[in-house]
């Protein structure tokens, strides 16, 4: 008699740009949805790595993102992602206040047009100043992260001082990681973020600029103006959804570009290729080290696999974006690639509302790099060191020069 294989523990500790071979093995398994076990909680979870199955699950309204974040839900993370006394779910706070439309419009096409030129100018200025430096530069510390901070301040939260931005970056790194800190330390990071916005969200909302937190604070809510507690939760949502994702992805996309100088040369000669290159970066460059999670609100069959009510299914967007059944030669970076849409922003009801602004930010970075060909890594890609355990991949440094 044979015994069922022991489920793999998750996450797979692929902190760099190299995806774990476990993703390929699961994608090639007989079942399109495979059981895994959280390394940190022991919770049994389901993991999807195939593109077609991922799309079906993400568009299935029987699978809820909100329910997957509820207290006591099976989880991949070491701790529940909420400070004591908070919901940890700024989207639900917005929904209850009747501000979801204000939120999505504040991240939509008009916002991208409103901030697009400023982001392009900011990216170009940062890289121009670096080009004037002698010797190698660190594109992580001196380009990608300052650009992400600039976007977060101008577009999302309002004017953050250098010290405030550094504090929020450090506390976010502490809270959003799989390993490297104790559970108590991670909860402390979440508490510090909550305390910061309890003290400063109203000041940021009342400050200068045309940013999303201000728009939400000033918009008429169904139950009256937002209180400080609600505004604090919304500010935390904007921080966590905006800064670690944008800084991590910009770093990864920069490395992808510099590993393909011939592609940068084509973008320099033909800037009309840049929008397609942005989409290929979003497909090719991995960001999350975990997976997008959804809880089944009723028994559901996904491609022949029965998932019971209350169980949590997770979708590896990175694995799905490298599925050879969906993408020809998926591990190759092809700026001119045509084909199915990537899942970099998810899919279905929870498709990332900030996708327009994220594309605008990445476009600004790519244009700045393409405008100055010759930028290259000063170490081999395999020598780049990565922060271990973060939810969102980020290198410790990107040594480069012209």
**Cβ atoms < 10 Å from Cβ of 92:** 16
Helix ranges restricted to H, 7-161: 21-27, 51-58, 65-68, 90-97, 100-105, 109-131, 139, 145-151
Domain 9-401: give its CATH superfamily: Cytochrome P450 (1.10.630.10)
Q: Which one, of 283, 173, 158, lies nearest residue 212 by Cα?
A: 158
Q: Which one, of 16, 147, 148, 136, lies nearest residue 398 by Cα?
A: 136
Q: Which residues are annotated as a binding site?
A: 352
pLDDT of residue 119: 98
pLDDT of residue 2: 38
* Alpha-carbon dihedral 369, 374, 377, 378, rounded to 10 degrees: -140
Query: Quick one: 118 exposed, middle or buried, by C-beta within 10 A (0-12, 13-18, 19+)?
Result: middle
pLDDT of residue 85: 87
DSSP state of 55: H
pLDDT of residue 209: 93
* Alpha-carbon dihedral 339, 340, 341, 342, rounded to 10 degrees: -90
Query: Distance of CA 270 to CAs 265, 279, 360, 373, Å?
Result: 9, 16, 18, 12
Give the distance from CA 373 to its chain's centroid. Answer: 28
**DSSP 3-state assignment of 283?**
helix
The per-type count for the chain, helices as H runs and strands as E runs, is 16, 11
| Strand pairing class (312-315; 44-48) | parallel
The answer to whether the CB of 284 falls within 8 A of the CB of 257 is no
Residues 6+ apart with CB under 8 A from 400: 136, 137, 138, 139, 258, 375, 376, 377, 378
The reported pTM is 0.96
CA distance 10 to 362: 29
CA distance 137 to 143: 9
Residues 6+ apart with CB under 8 A from 271: 367, 370
Two tokens at 358? Answer: 């994220």
**Cβ atoms < 10 Å from Cβ of 229:** 16
pLDDT of residue 87: 86
Give the distance from CA 151 to its chain's centroid. Answer: 14
Q: Write phi, then psi, for 314 (nearest 5 degrees).
A: -120, 145
CA distance 11 to 180: 14
The answer to whether the CB of 19 falls within 8 A of the CB of 287 is no
- What residues are paired with 293 via a beta bridge? 314
pLDDT single digits (tens) 203-217 = 999 999 999 999 999
CA distance 23 to 16: 14
Q: Which residues are annotated as a binding site for heme?
A: 352
CA distance 259 to 369: 13
Q: How many CA atoms lie within 13 A of 273 on its CB side?
A: 17
CA distance 248 to 395: 8
Full pLDDT tens readout for the chain, 402 residues: 334 457 999 999 999 999 999 999 999 988 899 999 999 999 999 999 999 999 999 999 999 999 999 999 999 999 999 998 898 889 889 999 999 999 999 999 999 999 999 999 999 999 999 999 888 999 999 999 999 999 999 999 999 999 999 999 999 999 999 999 999 999 999 999 999 999 999 999 999 999 999 999 999 888 788 899 999 999 999 999 999 999 999 999 999 999 999 999 999 999 999 999 999 999 999 999 999 999 999 999 999 999 999 999 999 999 999 999 999 999 999 999 988 999 999 999 999 999 999 999 999 999 999 999 899 999 999 999 999 999 999 999 999 999
């Amino acid at each position: 008699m044979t015994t069922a294989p022991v489920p793999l523990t998750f996450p797979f500790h692929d902190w760099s740009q190299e995806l774990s071979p476990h993703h390929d093995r699961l994608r090639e398994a007989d079942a399109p949805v495979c059981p895994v076990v959280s390394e940190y909680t022991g919770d049994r979870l389901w993991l999807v790595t195939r593109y077609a199955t991922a799309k079906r699950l993400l568009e299935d309204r029987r699978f809820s993102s909100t329910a997957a974040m509820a207290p006591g839900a099976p989880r991949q993370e070491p701790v529940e992602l909420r400070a004591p006394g908070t919901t940890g779910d700024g989207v639900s706070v917005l929904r209850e206040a009747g501000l979801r439309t204000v939120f999505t419009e504040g991240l939509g096409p008009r916002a991208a047009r409103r901030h697009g030129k400023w982001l392009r100018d900011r990216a170009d200025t940062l890289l121009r100043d670096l080009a004037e430096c002698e010797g190698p530069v660190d594109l992580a510390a001196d380009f990608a992260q300052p650009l992400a901070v600039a976007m977060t301040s101008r577009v999302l939260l309002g004017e953050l001082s250098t010290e405030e931005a550094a504090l929020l970056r450090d506390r976010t790194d502490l809270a959003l990681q799989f390993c490297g800190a104790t559970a108590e330390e991670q909860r402390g990071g979440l508490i510090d973020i909550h305390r910061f916005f309890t003290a400063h969200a109203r000041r940021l909302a009342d400050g200068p600029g045309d940013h999303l937190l201000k728009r939400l604070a000033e918009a008429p809510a169904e139950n009256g103006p937002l209180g400080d507690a609600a505004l604090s939760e919304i500010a935390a949502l904007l921080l966590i959804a905006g800064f670690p994702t944008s800084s991590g992805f910009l770093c990864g996309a920069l490395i992808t570009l510099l590993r393909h100088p011939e592609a940068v040369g084509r973008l320099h000669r033909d800037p009309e290729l840049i929008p397609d290159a942005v989409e290929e970066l979003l497909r090719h460059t991995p960001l999350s080290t975990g997976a997008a999670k959804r809880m089944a609100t009723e028994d559901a069959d996904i491609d022949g696999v029965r998932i019971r009510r209350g169980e949590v299914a997770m979708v590896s967007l990175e694995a799905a974006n490298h599925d050879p059944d969906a993408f020809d030669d998926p591990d190759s970076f092809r700026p001119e690639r045509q084909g199915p849409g990537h899942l970099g922003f998810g899919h279905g009801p929870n498709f990332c509302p900030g996708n327009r602004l994220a594309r605008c930010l990445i476009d600004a970075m790519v244009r700045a790099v393409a405008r100055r060909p010759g930028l290259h890594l000063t170490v081999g890609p395999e020598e780049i060191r990565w922060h271990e355990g973060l939810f969102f991949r980020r290198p410790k440094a990107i040594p480069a020069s012209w």
